[in-house]
């Protein structure tokens, strides 16, 4: 839509409120609502003021005024609200120069798209994420001076075969690693996923597939269509919003946490990606698995910078509880055609236009604008510097002999390790002013707060290991 069409939609749909939305550094969407009588054409020119000091990792209180500038192309009618509301994704603007704020993730993604064009290497970076998530019946946790605990409640969970329910225990549920993917009633979430997909279509996001995932206790995946970097970031935020709200309306709770349960698969977000120039897919060629030299070098950049990327694509302390052997997690920094045990996979496709790579180590707690930007910048660095990733590995990487396995690098094992790599290996991100050193420093500082809180909190498993020593 154009700004003019926005006001026509407001009239036609009898919209009562306009909801201005933006995404913070951690990747959580924020919003402020404006009654339609207070929403005029000037909002698209001068923006809407808000207090940036209240957003974690952003401004100090001494210079807190910031602007939200609505992007009319990103609007949709919110399907979850009682009063007709038009939601619009915004860029966060620095009032002093009316440019995108240095730490605004969406503005960073826009700078990344502009940088790609400026290099002459390509015009468009396409991304297609596959976020996994859990839907539980309920969840509890407590962390205070007296102790800590967490508890997941899920009638679908394999551990509840002996549980007594008011209407009887029906017994149909996926076993551990058995969720991929029997029909209902073993898959108890078909209707909820269909409702999420319906909401996504209403919000302008094209759905391609949905299904139960491997883990017990309600792991799911919804696949949506690929799109250019910024738009795909917008769609990812809409997907999270739809998942959380549909689950809530069904009386359940959804989480994109990578490893909420112990002993079963965690939730990843495999990210398909390719670079195009005009109508040409630059990843299609005559090389390995139908890839071009451009694509091979792009893979080389992703693998070279993978440990720095981890700080952005795997941004929580919980992320590294997923990146362990035995649960289909991509713990080997190698590439392969179709082999799901590699960190970078080349999917089997029927057309050169569909040729792409799939980076498998990210998880869905990442900020999509930052994660897609960082992966593209790493890949482009590989192309610019002709970084070859070495030979592909087509064997099952989990079953390699020790002498073979020792030569294959691994992702980081913790968030603090990843932050250290990001600090040292940041040059590929600052090219073209896409990310600034100030933004990277602020991101590291924000995440180090999480590391410190995690490090200093006594964990229940420590009682199990050390209490009687």
Residue 3, number of CB atoms within 10 A of its CB: 15
Q: Kindly name the residue from 19, 78, 94, 130 that is annotated as catalytic.
A: 130
User: Known catalytic residue: 113?
Assistant: no
Q: Kindly name the residue from 132, 234, 264, 328 that is annotated as catalytic.
A: 132
Q: Kindly name the residue from 248, 340, 453, 459 that is annotated as catalytic.
A: 340
10 Å CB burial of residue 309 (0-12, 13-18, 19+) is buried
Q: Kindly name the residue from 19, 221, 328, 416 that is annotated as catalytic.
A: 221
Distance from C-alpha of 60 to C-alpha of 56, rounded to nearest angstrom: 10
User: Known catalytic residue: 270?
Assistant: yes
Distance from C-alpha of 136 to C-alpha of 306, rounded to nearest angstrom: 32
User: Known catalytic residue: 221?
Assistant: yes
Q: Kindly name the residue from 193, 322, 360, 426 that is annotated as catalytic.
A: 360
411 neighbors 307 (Cβ within 8 angstroms): yes
Burial annotation 166-179 (CB, 10 A radius, 16+ → b, else e) = eeeeeeebbebbbb
Q: Which residue, 229, 201, 218, is CA-closest to 160?
A: 218
- The contacts of residue 441 (CB under 8 Å, 6+ apart) are none
User: Known catalytic residue: 14?
Assistant: no
Q: Kindly name the residue from 94, 137, 156, 213 that is annotated as catalytic.
A: 213
User: Known catalytic residue: 244?
Assistant: no
User: Known catalytic residue: 360?
Assistant: yes
Q: Kindly name the residue from 91, 187, 328, 358 that is annotated as catalytic.
A: 358
Distance from C-alpha of 16 to C-alpha of 433, rounded to nearest angstrom: 40
297 neighbors 386 (Cβ within 8 angstroms): yes
User: Known catalytic residue: 358?
Assistant: yes
Q: What would the two tokens of residue 294 be? A: 């451009």
Q: Kindly name the residue from 270, 355, 356, 421 that is annotated as catalytic.
A: 270
User: Known catalytic residue: 234?
Assistant: no
Residue 83, number of CB atoms within 10 A of its CB: 10
Q: What would the two tokens of residue 278 be? A: 């005009």
Q: Kindly name the residue from 51, 391, 441, 462 that is annotated as catalytic.
A: 51
335 neighbors 392 (Cβ within 8 angstroms): yes
Supply the residues annotated as catalytic: 51, 130, 132, 213, 221, 270, 340, 358, 360
């Amino acid at each position: 839509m154009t700004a003019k069409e926005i006001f026509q939609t407001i009239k036609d749909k009898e919209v009562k409120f306009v909801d201005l939305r933006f995404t913070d550094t951690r990747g959580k969407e924020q919003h402020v609502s404006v009654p339609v009588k207070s929403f005029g054409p000037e909002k698209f020119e001068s923006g809407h003021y808000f207090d940036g000091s209240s957003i974690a990792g952003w401004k100090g209180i001494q210079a807190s005024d910031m602007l939200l500038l609505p992007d009319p192309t990103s609007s949709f009618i919110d399907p979850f609200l009682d009063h007709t509301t038009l939601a619009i994704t915004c860029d966060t603007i620095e009032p002093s120069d009316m440019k995108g704020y240095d730490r605004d993730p969406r503005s960073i993604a826009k700078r990344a798209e502009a940088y790609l064009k400026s290099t002459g290497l390509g015009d468009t970076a396409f991304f297609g994420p596959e976020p996994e998530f859990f839907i539980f019946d309920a969840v509890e946790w407590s962390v205070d001076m007296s102790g800590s605990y967490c508890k997941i409640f899920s009638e679908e969970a394999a551990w509840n075969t002996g549980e007594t329910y008011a209407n009887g225990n029906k017994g149909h549920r996926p076993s551990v690693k058995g969720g991929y993917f029997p029909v209902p009633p073993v898959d108890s979430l078909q209707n909820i996923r269909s409702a999420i997909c319906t909401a996504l279509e209403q919000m302008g996001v094209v759905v391609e597939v949905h299904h139960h995932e491997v883990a017990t206790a309600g792991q799911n995946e919804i696949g949506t269509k690929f799109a250019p970097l910024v738009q795909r970031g917008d769609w990812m935020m809409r997907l999270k919003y739809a998942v959380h709200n549909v689950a809530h309306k069904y009386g359940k709770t959804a989480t994109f946490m990578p490893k909420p349960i112990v002993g079963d698969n965690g939730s990843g977000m495999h990210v398909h990606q390719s670079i195009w120039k005009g109508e040409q897919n630059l990843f299609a060629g005559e090389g390995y698995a139908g890839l071009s030299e451009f694509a091979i070098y792009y893979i080389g950049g992703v693998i070279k910078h993978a440990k720095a990327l981890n700080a952005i694509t795997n941004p929580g302390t919980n992320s590294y509880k997923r990146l362990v052997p035995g649960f289909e997690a991509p713990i080997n920094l190698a590439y392969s055609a179709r082999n799901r045990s590699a960190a970078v996979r080349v999917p089997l496709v029927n057309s050169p236009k569909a040729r792409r790579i799939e980076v498998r180590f990210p998880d869905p707690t990442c900020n999509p604008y930052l994660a897609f930007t960082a992966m593209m910048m790493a890949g482009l660095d590989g192309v610019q510097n002709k970084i070859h990733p070495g030979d592909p590995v087509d064997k099952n990487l989990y079953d390699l002999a020790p002498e073979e396995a020792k030569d294959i690098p691994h992702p980081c094992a913790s968030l603090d390790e990843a932050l250290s790599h990001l600090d040292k290996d940041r040059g590929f991100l600052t090219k073209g002013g896409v990310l600034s050193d100030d933004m990277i420093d602020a991101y590291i500082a924000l995440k180090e707060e999480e590391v410190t809180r995690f490090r200093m909190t006594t964990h229940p498993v420590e009682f199990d290991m050390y209490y009687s020593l």
